[in-house]
Amino acid sequence: MAKKKVEERINLDTILFKCRNILRKARNSGSFFEKRDMMLTLVFLRFIGERFEDGIAKLRQDLIERGLDPDDEKIVAAFFDDATFTDGTYNLPVEARWSTIINTPAPKLNVALDTALHSIATDNKQLKGCFVEGTFTTRNLAPNDIKQVVDEVNKISHKAFGEEKDLIGRVYEYFLKEFAINATKEEGEFYTPHDVVQLIATMIEPFDGTIYDPCCGSGGMFIRSADIIKANKGDISRINVYGQEKEAATFRLAKMNLALRGISHNLGEESDSTFTHDLHKGVYFNYIMANPPFNLKGWYNDNLKNDSRWADYTTPPESNANYAWILHILSHLKPLDGVAGFLLANGALGDSDTLAIRKKLIQNDKVEAIIILPRELFITTDISVTLWILNQNKKGGEYHGRKLRKREHEILFMDLRTWTDNHVSGENKKKVRLDETQIQKAADIYHTWQSEGTDGKNYAVPEFYRSVGIDEIEKKGWTLVPSKYIEFIDHDLDIDFPTEMARIQQEMKSILEQEKKSQKMLEDAFKGIGYGIE
């Protein structure tokens, strides 16, 4: 009987590994960052080209169903020559289509790719700034090298990997893992895992209105939020995305990501520092989601001394930007009902040099929840981090179909550090993730605490979560470290020590008696053959 041929499963990491190897050996492939940007640009061309091809195929089918001939010259001129799409698909000139690129002879590929980029940037204002024109002719890879890479990228398809996955982000994540496995977020290269983004989005529910991320990276916060909105049968056209990113390459990546998703966005006209050049100054948002660089140094200059963002508090320490991020985020929240969920290093919970700011944040009732996350959730750091939730409205009322109670001067503390069971395989370092059940459980705890009918004074599970009033927080010196408030049980107290000691003594007595019996049997055995034992 002939063996059935087993088709090899297409694996994104395998494809990217092959591409990395080709570029590593290729002449003129440039630095790591140039290799990465070249790959991201190729993947972008692949995705945007595939979406165009799918859009044309759907348009042809729609015309046929309407009784029209899609090959008729008049129909072609009316519908195809300047096609428009309503789902975020971009119309592409012939030279920018993936079908043109993949069929271009190897010696002409570098020029063809840059021609495609120029055409896209010229024809689509929304896509301008997503890439660097001239990328491929500048590097001028050998024909065989560029052809091999393009053929590998051709295997990357939403048909193979799923239309809703953040594939641009996954490509970025792959190169980050390979290059920066021991890097820190301070170096400006970081990627927020999907499960962490999902946790934030599931908790604060950014289902409509405006969403802002002051350090948006590759746009993962926005992508996952859009996915959650769709999963809840929402309309992503109801949200407007605003963001800012300091690193130029990452800024382009975010624009790629959002453009491919058809998500309306405003990331400003350029990449720049949120602190020294706030591109959205004076704009207030319904929701803010962020993963700022942990413990960022070098953020401050003298022009920020009397900045309006911390005029009501005090200037954050120059040595660490954690509280500068907090106050920046707060300054952009809608005053009546804005909600923010963002990550910070655990040190921000109790730093002595930020005590005055932390105290006033608590007194002004801006902090709603503090959630400690498990270690090893991130690629570039294994530290445990904190999810902060700020809320401008703790007075109660309607929120996404839920009736919220008055929660003034209460803070919910949650400790998820024991949620380390879900290990991620195939990583270069130990990594864990939060699964759907855990994410929903954490969100349910938070939402139940918010809701009418909950007694905030008695809302607690030892070693897990607890609602705490401001009086207790004041007595603890305004610290926000959850272990100061959540009850941790001394499991030794559950032991009945007199009974336990009696049991141990009885066991020791039995062991000694058994040893004496064994010794006596041994002595008798040796005496029987004429030997004694001293």
pLDDT in tens, 101-158: 999 999 999 999 999 999 998 888 778 778 888 989 999 999 999 999 999 999 988 7
- Say what the pTM is: 0.79
Over residues 387-398, mean pLDDT = 96
Torsion of the alpha carbons at 378, 381, 386 and 390, rounded to the nearest 10:
-70
Taking a C-beta distance cutoff of 8 angstroms, is the pair 293, 186 a contact? yes
User: Model confidence at 31, in pLDDT bands (50, 70, 90)?
Assistant: confident
Distance in angstroms (rounded) separating the CA atoms of residues 200 and 223: 13
Per-residue pLDDT, 368: 98
Per the model's pLDDT, the better-predicted residue between 73 and 522 turns out to be 73
Between 282 and 162, the more confident residue is: 282
Q: Which residues contact 443 (CB under 8 A, 6 or more apart)?
A: 199, 202, 203
Tell me what pLDDT residue 10 has. 59
- pLDDT of 107 reads 96
pLDDT tens-digit profile of 224-245? 788 777 777 667 777 889 999 9
pLDDT at position 185: 41
- Are 117 and 92 in contact by the 8 Å Cβ rule? The answer is no
Query: Whose structure tokens read 């290729």?
Result: 26
Regarding predicted confidence, which is higher, 514 or 41?
41
Per residue in 426-470, pLDDT (tens digit) is 665 678 899 999 999 999 999 999 999 999 999 999 999 999 999
Rounded to whole angstroms, the Cα distance separating 31 from 15 reads 20
pLDDT band at 165 (very low <50, low <70, confident <90, very high): low
Answer whether 438's CB lies under 8 Å from 393's CB.
no
Confidence class for position 493, pLDDT limits 50, 70, 90: very low
Identify which of 279, 390, 402 has the alpha carbon closest to the alpha carbon of residue 335: 390
Taking residues 33-61, what's their average pLDDT?
Answer: 87
pLDDT for residue 427: 63
pLDDT in tens, 53-90: 888 888 889 889 989 888 888 888 878 777 777 666 88
Is the predicted pLDDT of residue 527 greater than 80, yes or no? no
Would you call 421 exposed, middle or buried from its count of C-beta atoms within 10 A (0-12, 13-18, 19+)? exposed
Instruction: Give the angle 52-56-62 at the CA atoms, nearest 5°.
Output: 140
CA angle, residues 263, 264, 270, in degrees to nearest 5: 110
Q: Count of CB atoms within 10 A of residue 114's CB?
A: 19
To which residue do tokens 């500048």 refer? 138
pLDDT tens digit string along 267-284? Answer: 998 899 999 999 999 999
Average model confidence (pLDDT) for the chain?
Answer: 84
CB atoms within 10 A of CB 387: 23
Q: Which pLDDT score is estimated for 435?
A: 93
CB 271 within 8 A of CB 251: yes
Q: How many secondary structure helices (H) and strands (E) does the chain include?
A: 17, 12
Instruction: Indicate if the pLDDT at residue 175 is higher than 80.
Output: no
Average pLDDT over residues 258-266: 81
Q: Is 319 helix (H, G, I), strand (E, B) or coil?
A: coil
Contacts of 261 (CB under 8 A, 6+ apart): 88, 223, 226, 236
pLDDT at 45: 92
